[in-house]
Structure 1
Amino acid sequence: MIPRDLFEPTEAASEERFWLALAAAEAEVSRADERLAADPHRTGVQRRLDVKEGCAIAWSAGALVSFEALALHDQELDVTLPDADLRAAHRTLLLRRRASRLSLDALLEPAALAGFIDRRRERPPSPLPVARPASAGVGEAIRAATDQIQAVRTDEDDQALAAWLGLARAWLSPPLPLLVGAALALESWRALTPLGRREDLADLVVNAALRSRRRVRALELPLALGRRRLTTSGDRRPFAPTLQDRLAWHLRSFAAAAREACDEQAALSLARQVCERRLAAHRRASKAPAALAALLDQPVVTAESLARAVGLTPHGARLLLRRLGASVTEISGRSRFRVWRLAGG
């Protein structure tokens, strides 16, 4: 008879998966940040990632929002009346941009995250005191985190939010590795659900911690996009008995988010190089370089928006788009109110 524990996860196997996931996440995040920091068009890359992140957040909530619709709505170029799902996805996009201008300390204030979703309430209580993992190693911090999460016994959103803020403040501080603390913060949010299933609010705190501790310089990680990439590839969020296995999944999602950023940057860079070679012999007074700059800066363009950007008529803008070749793709499939984007961008 085959022993039953042969197929059960052991502590050593869970620990090995955790450390492998941590090493991969550290390498991928560093690689993505370096590539975006060296890219002169990183603003356009980040705008595309933000739109895709908004679509991924809507997908996690059970809604389908297309990239084209969200990008057009963000630029106030809607061709149809936006529905409730599109407006909700755009609100998350605006929250992401607003949070990117705030510090970690500002986001860890009890009223900050609650104010993001317009919850009008009395001032929530101060965060509960949590012991900082000052001298403990990673293993000891993870074992202590299990007890700290289970110690929170409340059904009140304000109390759960205050407890989560105290835990996140401790885990996102040195000397605990930042990605480990970020994984702990996301896992505890899932366990405590202080503001419902709004995991994107915890993502804002994680990205603020990455910026404040200078772990990244030019990258805003699309964490929801990384979770969707894992889920659609068959690596679903585990309901594992060990915290290390659940943290390893979050670390794999960090690596997947960083790979999404690298793929987006590589595709946009390739499309730019193809267009620049095609325009190598353009006239000095040509508007084609300005049109390419507008395509690099914005996720999508219409003939009217491109005409305003380069100072042409809409017909002249359409001729310019045709001159740029196959790297510019028409994505709307309509004969009117057409939309273009750089291929792969």
Structure 2
Amino acid sequence: MGLDLPASVSYERLQAPFESASDALARFDERLRSSPVAEAFALRAHFNDACAALWRAGEFVQLEDLVLHDAGMDVRTPTHELVRAHAVLLTRRRIADREPAWALTTEGLANLRGAGRPHDAVSEPTIGSGAMDEVADGELDDEDGETIITGEFAEIDELLARTSRPIERIQPAPLKRDDSGLVYDEDWDDEARVAEWRQRLGGTQNLPPLMAASIALDAWEEIEPLQRSAWLGPLLAAALLRSRGKTRHCLTALHSGFRQAKYRRVGRDDFESRLIAFACAIETMAKADSKELDRLTLARELLLRKCKGRRTNSRMPQLVDLCLASPVVTVPLAAKELRVSQQAATQMIDELSSNLRELTGRGRYRAWAVM
């Protein structure tokens, strides 16, 4: 096959689980291509994967807290875990919105880990540098046709030049990190570790996409390139699948896949067992996502029945889209997104209540989700 695998790895043992996982992932991606709820599924996957990333790190974040925090409508002070989950959420959105291979480039990876270098500010012509030069050369005034005396506006020209120079030199301040040794390891060389991981990544070019992603993720967890943002590895592996054309319509939620799988990585597992576990997690995730797609499709059909016979400017269809795209919906959130009063939002949610599940069971701070 010409695969760049270590000699100790048996391709015959890897063939069956990887083919099964590849078929399951391809079938799901093709279903997503023509699904009417594809966009809503992708938006939900961002939230679920962010919570799963914190779960894998041993921390717990409520899904509804993350939704409200992302909307800027926190009901309590955000915790450190919630802020980290939101960082995962924003990173997933950045990767999904860019070109498929952007996250794996040198510039993309540097931006994602906060190590991007600020670009030099480009000097643009100012009022005092271009227009005044023309005036100083003896340009005619449009109103009276008289020649402006050279040096008449010299003081104004000098003042504008002095104020423009400091502005041109302003650059974005680089991110600061704690170098005291109390938070970060002083001997930890991020640049060298990232370079080593990129070298491992380059050795997977001749491998099938799914196997290349598994080796890239295994190398990330072994090398540990970043002291912080360790959750970035599965996102880069998902970007690799997307850049290789294995998934064209979604950014694979690998954190959610590992959360659903029974396998838990331990130090004594050999390389071959870890690759097989990755394939099994992908297959489990693809099957679970297919069921979620069926659930959202059915929920959409039931909710749209409530919109029949309404006036053309009704906000009910928009509320249906919000209920499908957001894992949790509250009255203030619906009012903000639909730009209606909270009373109108409450009334519309009550009309859809037969197809929504009330999560809190309280009189205040109520939340709903699609059944």
TM-score (norm 2): 0.71
Rounded Cα–Cα distance in structure 1 between residues aligned with 2:337 and 2:228 = 40
Rounded Cα–Cα distance in structure 1 between residues aligned with 2:339 and 2:83 = 31
| Cα displacement (A) at 1:218 | 0.9
Single out whichever of 308-317 and 52-61 deviates more from structure 2. Answer: 308-317
| Cα displacement (A) at 1:311 | 5.2
SS in 1 for 2:256: helix
Map Cα deviations across residues 36-92 of structure 1 (whole Å, 9 max, x no partner). Answer: 111122121111111010000111111110110001111112111111110111011
- Where in structure 2 are the equivalents of 1:213-228 lying within 5 Å? 213-228=244-259
Partner of 1:46: 42
CA contact (8 A) 1:161 1:194 kept: yes
Partner of 1:271: 299
Partner of 2:347: 319
Aligned-partner residue type, residue 214 of structure 1: G
Partner of 1:5: none
CA contact (8 A) 1:65 1:89 kept: yes
Which structure has the bigger radius of gyration?
2
Partner of 1:150: none
1:178 is the counterpart of 2:209: yes
Rounded Cα–Cα distance in structure 1 between residues aligned with 2:116 and 2:307 = 55
Larger fraction in helix: 1
Single out whichever of 75-84 and 107-116 deviates more from structure 2. Answer: 107-116
Single out whichever of 39-48 and 204-213 deviates more from structure 2. Answer: 204-213
SS in 1 for 2:226: strand
Distance 1:309 1:95, change over 3 A: closer
Partner of 1:126: none
| Cα displacement (A) at 1:305 | 3.1
| Cα displacement (A) at 1:322 | 1.6
| Cα displacement (A) at 1:226 | 0.5
Partner of 2:68: 72
Single out whichever of 324-333 and 20-29 deviates more from structure 2. Answer: 324-333
Unaligned runs of 5+ in 1: 1-10, 122-153
Rounded Cα–Cα distance in structure 2 between residues aligned with 1:108 and 1:305 = 35
Distance 1:268 1:196, change over 3 A: same
- Where in structure 2 are the equivalents of 1:212-291 lying within 5 Å? 212-230=243-261, 234-237=262-265, 239=267, 242-280=270-308, 282=310, 286-291=314-319
Identity %: 30
Partner of 2:4: none
1:159 is the counterpart of 2:192: yes
Instruction: Indicate the RMSD between aligned Cα atoms, in angstroms.
Output: 2.8
| Cα displacement (A) at 1:229 | 0.8
Unaligned runs of 5+ in 2: 1-7, 118-186
SS in 1 for 2:109: helix
- Where in structure 2 are the equivalents of 1:14-93 lying within 5 Å? 17-93=13-89
CA contact (8 A) 2:101 2:240 kept: no
Distance 1:101 1:286, change over 3 A: closer
CA contact (8 A) 1:110 1:165 kept: no
Rounded Cα–Cα distance in structure 2 between residues aligned with 1:16 and 1:68 = 44
Rounded Cα–Cα distance in structure 1 between residues aligned with 2:209 and 2:58 = 30
CA contact (8 A) 2:102 2:108 kept: yes
CA contact (8 A) 2:44 2:327 kept: yes
Partner of 2:94: 98
CA contact (8 A) 2:299 2:370 kept: yes
TM-score (norm 1): 0.76
Single out whichever of 304-313 and 75-84 deviates more from structure 2. Answer: 304-313
Single out whichever of 289-298 and 107-116 deviates more from structure 2. Answer: 107-116
Alignment size in residue pairs: 296
Partner of 1:132: none
CA contact (8 A) 2:95 2:102 kept: no
Aligned-partner residue type, residue 200 of structure 1: W
